[in-house]
Amino acid sequence: MPLLSDRATDRFRRFILPGLAFKAVVIGGGYATGREIAEFFLPAGPWGGLAAMLLATLIWGAVAAATFHFAHMTGARDYRTFFKALLGRGWFLFEAAYALFIVVILAVFGAAAGAIGAATLGLPPLVGTLALMAAIVACVAAGNAGVERVFVWVSVLLYATYAAFLLLALTTVGDRIAHAFAMAPPPAPDWPLGGIVYAGYNIVGAVMILPVTRHFRSGRDAVIAGAIAAPLAMAPALLFFIGMTAFLPDIASAVLPSDHMLVRLGHPAFHLLFQAMIFAALLESGSGAVHAVNERVAHAHGRTALSPALRALVALALLAPCMLLADRVGLVTLIASGYRLLAWLLILIYVLPLLLAILLPRMRAANRLEHS
C-alpha cells in the first residue's frame, strides 16, 4: 500500500498538479467573480459562449503542452530561463510584457478582494485589498512546497463550491437556464474572438507555473500534463457560465456577477461560502503570480531558492504598488481594456514563437526524411 500511495503521489505531481497550478493562476479576480466570463463569453450568447469556451480550452491545451515540453527540453524552471531559450536576445520583450501583465492582474485581484469585502461584510474596499496582500505574502514566503499546498487545497474548495453552485442554480432557476438556451439566437460570426482573446492573455499562466514542472520525468509527461491542464482550468468557468445564462441580460453589466446571482438565488449561507471561495481563488492566483517572480529573482542571482524573509520582502514590494492601483481603477475597466492589449502582445511574443520552435524542427526532420 505505501508503494501504491507513493506511485499515486508521483503521478499526481506529474500529471495533475500542473493543471491545478495553471487553474490557480488563471482563475484570478475576473474569472472567479464572473466578470471575465461576462466580458468575453456572454456577448456571444449561450451557445456562442460555450463554443468560445471550447475554443479557448483547445488553445490552452495545445500551448500548455508545447510550453511544458519546451521547458522540459531546455531545463527551464522559471520564465526568464524559458524565454532566454525561446527568444534568445529578445527575451527581455517578454520581461516587459510580463511586468505589464503583473501590474494589471494584481490590480484586478486587489480590486476584486476589495469589492468582495464591501459587498459581503460592508467593509471599506481597502480592507479586503490589504487582507489579500497579507495572505499572499504569508503564502509565498513558504516557497515551492507552501505554494503547491495552496494550489491543492484551494482546488478542493473551489471545485466543490462550483459544483454546488451549479446544482443550486439548476434546482432554483433551471427553467430559466433551459429557456435561455432554447431561445438563444445563432451565435454571431465573431464568437471566436472572445475565446481567442481570453485564451491569449491567460495562457501565460503556463509559463508562470514552471516551478511545479520539476516533477516531470519525460517530454511525454509534459505533453500529457499540458493537455490535462486546459479542461481542469476551464471546468469551473463552464459551470458558472451555465448558471449565468439564467440572469441575462442584466448580469452582463454587473461588476460582480457572482454577487448578482447569489443574491437572487437567495441562500445567504452559500453566498458567504462562495465569496470565501473567491477570496481563496484570489489567494492562489496571486501567490502563483508572485511566486513566479520570486523564482525568476532566485535563478537570476544564481540561487536555488530565496530565504523566506527575502521571498516575503519581494512579494510585498511587488504587491503594494500594484494593488494600490485597485483604489484608482475599477475592475470592469481593468479587464475590458488592459487584458485585450495583453492578449495580442502575448500571442505575438510568446505563443507564435513557441509554436514555431516546436513545429519547425519536426517539419525539417520530415522534409529530410522525405528526400532521403
Q: Give the CATH number, domain containing residue 96.
A: 1.20.1740.10
Within-domain flag for 53:
yes
Task: Report the pLDDT value the prediction gives residue 73, as an integer from 0 to 100.
Answer: 92
pLDDT along the chain (372 residues), means of 10: 66 93 83 86 93 96 95 91 91 85 82 83 88 92 85 90 92 94 88 90 88 91 96 94 92 85 88 89 89 82 74 89 67 58 84 86 59 57
Task: Report the pLDDT value the prediction gives residue 113, as an integer from 0 to 100.
Answer: 87
> What is the amino acid identity at position 297?
V
Within-domain flag for 228:
yes
Task: Report the pLDDT value the prediction gives residue 1, as an integer from 0 to 100.
Answer: 35
Within-domain flag for 101:
yes
Residue located via cell numbers 506511485: 7
Task: Report the pLDDT value the prediction gives residue 329, as an integer from 0 to 100.
Answer: 57
Within-domain flag for 6:
no
Task: Report the pLDDT value the prediction gives residue 19, as an integer from 0 to 100.
Answer: 93
What domain count does the chain have?
A: 1
Task: Report the pLDDT value the prediction gives residue 107, as an integer from 0 to 100.
Answer: 83
Angle formed by the axes of helices 17-33 and 257-265, to 10°? 80
Cα–Cα–Cα angle for 196, 259, 165, rounded to 5 degrees: 75
- In angstroms, what CA-CA distances link 281 with 23, 32, 259? 9, 7, 15
**DSSP H helical ranges for the chain:** 2-11, 17-33, 35-40, 45-74, 79-87, 92-121, 125-140, 143-182, 191-202, 205-208, 219-244, 257-265, 268-300, 308-324, 331-333, 339-346, 352-370
Within-domain flag for 372:
no
Within-domain flag for 370:
no
Task: Report the pLDDT value the prediction gives residue 258, as an integer from 0 to 100.
Answer: 85
> What is the amino acid identity at position 53?
M
Within-domain flag for 353:
yes
CA distance 100 to 175: 43
CA distance 68 to 94: 17
Within-domain flag for 367:
no
Q: Count other C-beta atoms under 10 Å from residue 99's C-beta.
A: 11
Residue 111 sits in which domain range? 18-361
C-alpha cell at position 155: 482546488
